Chain A
Amino acid sequence: MVQRGSLKLLCGLAFIASCVSGQWLNYPTPGIPRLPDGKPNLAAPVPKAADGKPDLSGVWRIALGPYTLNTTNDLKPGDVQPWAEALAEQRRENLGKDSPAAHCLPFGPLFTFDPINPQKIVQTPNLIVILGEQLMYRQIFLDGRSLPADPNPDFMGYSVGHWEGDTLVVTTAGYNDRTWLGRGYPNTESLRTVERFHRGDFGHLEIAETFDDPGAYTRPWTVKVTGNLMPDSDLLEYVCNENNKDLPHLIGKASDLKGVEVAPEILAKYAGVYAGTLPSGLVVRFEIFPSGSELWASLNGGAKRLLTALSNTKFVLPQLEFLEENGEIVALQYSDVGANARLPRVRENR
């Protein structure tokens, strides 16, 4: 699994030979406005395509946040139909081993919410193609066609788009029901999404996506994320099937893990903020909240999740381990699929 970030890390830490192999990622993107010091001017005005529309073309990385591969973060219990809630619970109980990601299947409606793999928008007047680093793509037809009445359900769905002022509005139907919307929450074939893409300035793309699935939820909801332009770079091929070693390790059930109880006074020591950068270059920030005999975590401002204790210092999910030095908790070791980092404790207000 060669990830962009780990390659960069190799460049920094290991032999020069490893570094050279990735040099083509540094090819300067043509047409980028520059500041006097040569750095890209990401606040410059939005470029226009030949047809006068805003040009969304470029390599974009979605900012990490509460919606990272999880569009259901803001849903409340009444928003989810009982069968869908039960299915999500069952999938979490199985620790996500049936997730499409574990089987190297396309993310489908979550394609936009993958912050690890940058996306490249290729815009032509009649067709926009969005390429994913995982060597998958989606097409958005802009030639005026309507959505098909009865589309053949597939992973990426069938997308049509049009411009409303400077905003590209994309409607997608025809998703299959094999993808997850995050945390095990399902979608049915009734799912429709409406995405609004707006390039705020040269370096930033705002995406608001509305999910409407009357087969599983009681109301539509909207999730907003921001894409940051990756200048002078490109996609680095990543093929999930090439080296999928996750599956044999994804065993057990969440309820099996519930054996360990940690004393409240130990949990209290973990309260605080831990932040750092993953090998992929993503900045992550965990807030840890002890509550009696429970420990809760929030990632980058997302909803609080209950952690399960494996020992006095180790918790899941994700795998977190509190590191003690000289009697003080100094860092949080974070381990997830393709991500492993020591996140130092943030000494706030001290």
Chain B
Amino acid sequence: MIRQFTLISMVLATTVSAQWLNYPTPGIPRLPDGKPNLAAPAPKAADGKPDLSGVWTINYRPYSSNIANDLKPGDVQPWTEALTKQRQQNLGKDDPSTVGCLPFGPRVNFAAVTAPLKIVQTPTLIVILSEDLTYRQIFLDGRDLPADPNPDFMGYSIGHWEGDTLVVATAGYNDRTWLDYAGHPHTESLRTIEQFHRRDFGHLEIAETFEDPKAYAHPWTVKVTGDLMRDSDLLEYVCNENEKDSAHLVGKASDVRSVEVAPEILARYAGAYAGTRGGRPTRFEVYASGRELLFSRDGSARQPLTPVSKTKFVTFSGVQLEFVEENGEIVALQYYGAGFGGPLPRVREGR
């Protein structure tokens, strides 16, 4: 998984090869000191509508890990809850998108692999491109949603403008994708409504409503923001090129539970660990609770960690975490994720 931040953070020779990513985006309003003025008004397209075009980095947390983060237990139908738990038990090895290299479908706005997104806007058609070479089309030519669409990964999308907000309705998803890394399923009845609003030059607000009466008790809405990625572009990422995850994703969560770690050891790990992951700031909070260790990433719901050894743990999605000790103190959390690995130093708060 070659991503932009790895290129930039590596040796100079590698950085040079990515120099084309630094091509200045034309038309960016600038402050007197030459810096981009991201608070400038949103630009208009030739037809007078807000122009959403640009490369957008989506702040997808915590919904990338858990699309149901804001839902209560009764909001999720029992079979949905059970299937999600089962997928977590399997440590995410059946994830059709990250492991199976299939398109992210309705998850595209919230997945790390597909971010950033590039919006290409014309009066009658908007195309949204992802770094994994997939795309979706949104028809703005006044057509209706088909009565019985052929189910596919990206669904069938139509959009219209309500004031300065682009409203996109999508139906016709197949049921082969997950809605998040946790494994929340959906059925072919899923419909989504997205509201795209470019608040100012540098910021895009996305509110997406998920409605799937066969899997969830009621519709719910997830809100994320996108930051304009300036002077840059998408960097091709082809999952099939180097798919090495599936061979390593073996076993079940219940198999690895053979290790028990003493509560007094777990207690030492409690605290906050923060650093940069995937070029973005991230923060893990770790909570010890008796014989259990839980974590929360960037404010998401707490998830259990399964101990593999006294210092190593795996998350429900198969990501490995290791607590690093130096001179008798826990100083960092080492994160082993596809393309995202790195140490997160412990935050010394209130000391």
Contacts and interface: CB of A to CB of B under 8 A. Distances in A.
Contact of A150 (B17, B101, B120, B129): B17
A148 B20 contact: yes
A293 interface: no
Contacts of A86: none
A129 B127 contact: yes
A103 B153 contact: no
Interface string B129-160: 10001110100010100111110111010000
Contact of A237 (B7, B122, B153): B153
A158 interface: yes
B154 A135 contact: yes
A135 B134 contact: yes
A149 interface: yes
A83 interface: no
A150 B241 contact: no
B231 to A, nearest CB: 12
A228 to B, nearest CB: 21
Nearest to B145: A24
Contact of A30 (B124, B154, B234): B124
A145 interface: yes
Contact of B120 (A124, A145, A152): A124
B134 A136 contact: yes
Interface class of chain A by DSSP: loop
B238 A155 contact: yes
B122 A124 contact: yes
B20 A151 contact: yes
A241 B132 CA distance: 13
B240 interface: yes
Contacts of A158: 20
A126 B118 CA distance: 14
A239 B120 CA distance: 22
A149 B148 contact: no
B184 to A, nearest CB: 21
B129 A236 contact: no
A23 B150 CA distance: 9
A35 interface: no
Interface string A119-138: 00011101101010001110
Given A129-B129, A150-B17, A143 B26 contact: yes
Most buried by A among B53, B141, B236: B236
A21 to B, nearest CB: 4
Contacts, number: 105
A122 B149 contact: no
Interface string B15-40: 01111100100100000000000000
B152 A129 contact: no
A236 B150 contact: yes
Interface residues of B, number: 44
A131 B17 contact: no
Contacts of B53: 124
A148 B146 contact: no
Interface in A1-24: 2, 7, 20-24
A237 B146 contact: no
A24 B127 contact: no
B78 interface: no
Contacts of A156: 133, 236
A277 to B, nearest CB: 22
A239 B150 contact: no
A105 B133 contact: no
A106 interface: yes
B306 to A, nearest CB: 29
Interface in A246-286: none
Contacts of A164: none
Given A155-B236, A239-B102, A137 B133 contact: yes
Given A7-B150, A152-B7, A122 B17 contact: no
A152 B20 contact: yes
B103 interface: yes
Contacts of A139: 129, 233-234
A150 B147 contact: no
Contacts of B235: 152, 154
Q: Which 7 pairs across A and B sit closest by C-beta, in order of nearness?
A: A148-B20, A24-B146, A237-B152, A154-B236, A21-B150, A136-B133, A152-B17
24 contacts: A24-B146, A106-B238, A122-B120, A126-B26, A127-B120, A129-B120, A129-B127, A137-B135, A139-B233, A150-B17, A152-B7, A152-B18, A152-B20, A154-B236, A155-B236, A155-B241, A156-B133, A156-B236, A158-B20, A235-B137, A239-B103, A239-B153, A241-B102, A242-B176
Given A27-B143, A136-B134, 10 more contacts: A2-B150, A7-B150, A22-B150, A122-B120, A124-B53, A131-B137, A135-B134, A154-B238, A156-B236, A234-B137
